[in-house]
Amino acid sequence: MSAALYLCLLSWYLHNSAAEAELAPPWDVTMSTMNTHYILSWDWDQSAAGSHNVTFTTQYVAKYKLKSKKKSLNWSTSCEETSERSCDLTACNLHYLGIYMLRVRANVNGRHSTWVQKEFCPDKDAAVGAPTKVNLVPAGSDLDVFISDPLTSTNSSMKEHLPKLYYHILYWERSVDRQTSTTQQVSSSANVVTLPNLKPWTWYCVSMQTRYDFYNKSSSFTSPHCMQTEGATPWWQIFVYFLGSLVICFLVMLLSLYGSFWCCKTFKTTLYPPNQLPTHFKEYLCDSPASDVPRLLTPESESELLCDNVTVCPEPAVLEIHNPPPEDFPIPSGLEPESSGRHSRQGSSSSSGDSGVYSTGGSSNLQQSNITKSFADAQDCWKGIFDSELVKMQEMAPDVKSQPLITDESTVDMSV
């Protein structure tokens, strides 16, 4: 009885061991790297699983931990039960100068294949990438090459991990046949490189690669970048540029002035239209002729205005004649002051003296009559003008009461 049980257990164990031995492990395990991007890839024979689904598990550990005397070794799992035949280890943040052991196995229905291990050192095994960006800028007859460093997975420069990284630059004169042109080269670790000894006004093409000599690493060459060099500017080109700038400035000023004039005209026409006033202004200024408010003349009212000639008369001169009284004249000696004595003389001397006094009195009366006549004529002239103006004012404003014309007739002072 015990022998039969032993045989059954032995056959079941051998069967399971044979089944496990039948599951083939992955093969052709390789690392695809670029700067700090790491991908572990492998291959596997699908016929070994038949119709069953197969998965893979990938783990890693630092190599120095394998030499530890501890019985339990903690492997870090990066990909577990995945159906892909690759595993990205970039997110594991492997130290660039470290050494790691990687392993992978296949899983089918709870059965596992044996582990396949691979040693990996980023500093030694990881490839270096080409420059991220290359720009060419002409500097006279030379060319300045601006180089951007290759970047890590965290967008930092690879020079942080490889301080002795440098660039190998090839440049040549562009032509139809590349083989006929002479290729020149220069190496530099700087990010700005000047290519000397170039011909002015000539096209040159540049291509470069990244190199690291310690492990003999080198990237692929970049695609060619071409740029034309410059030289001394000819005088005719300077003249053309100057003339063009003058024309452009003139056109700009002309357009600016025209635009300003047009904007001002439009603004004035919009806000202050010609010959147009608001309705309430027109009603207030045009419909109240009898009020004290000044009226606004319209084109129709201007035609109704009556105009007449105005005569301007000079102001008459006011003459004042003063005759001294007889008492002021001196009396000759021998004559009496009485009037009887004056009239008693009948001689020649008396007649001649009286005739002189009377002749003087007669001339004074004549002058007085002439002055009175001139004053009357001037007064009649001014009165006629004032009466005509008063009549016109009454015709234009019938509601205004006429005022009597006041004249001063006592403008002449007559003294006899």
Half-sphere exposure of 308 (CA within 13 A, CB side): 10
Q: Is 289 helix (H, G, I), strand (E, B) or coil?
A: coil
CA distance 120 to 99: 6
| Block residue for tokens 């109240």 | 288
Q: Over pLDDT 70: what percentage of the chain?
A: 59
Q: Determine which of 29-33, 100-104, 220-224, 291-295 has the lowest per-residue pLDDT on average.
A: 291-295
Most confident of 115-124, 355-364, 380-389: 115-124
- Ordered by start, the domain boundaries in the chain are 8-125, 133-228
CA distance 394 to 389: 9
Q: Is the pLDDT of residue 415 over 50?
A: no
Can you give the pTM of this predicted structure?
A: 0.54
pLDDT digits 0-9 by tens, 156-177? 999 999 999 999 999 999 987 6
CATH number of 8-125, picked from 1.10.10.10, 2.60.40.10, 3.40.1190.20, 2.40.50.180: 2.60.40.10
Cα 411 from chain centre: 81
Q: How confident is the model at residue 364 (pLDDT cuts 50, 70, 90)?
A: very low
CA distance 58 to 43: 13
Q: Is the pLDDT of residue 31 over 60?
A: yes
* 8-125 and 133-228 agree in CATH topology: yes
Q: Is 189 helix (H, G, I), strand (E, B) or coil?
A: coil
CA distance 317 to 145: 108
Give phi and psi for 305, each to the nearest 5.
-65, 135
pLDDT digits 0-9 by tens, 376-409? 665 665 555 556 656 566 665 554 444 444 444 4
Q: How confident is the model at residue 361 (pLDDT cuts 50, 70, 90)?
A: very low
Chain mean pLDDT for the chain: 76
CATH number of 133-228, picked from 3.40.50.300, 2.60.40.10, 3.40.50.720, 3.20.20.140: 2.60.40.10
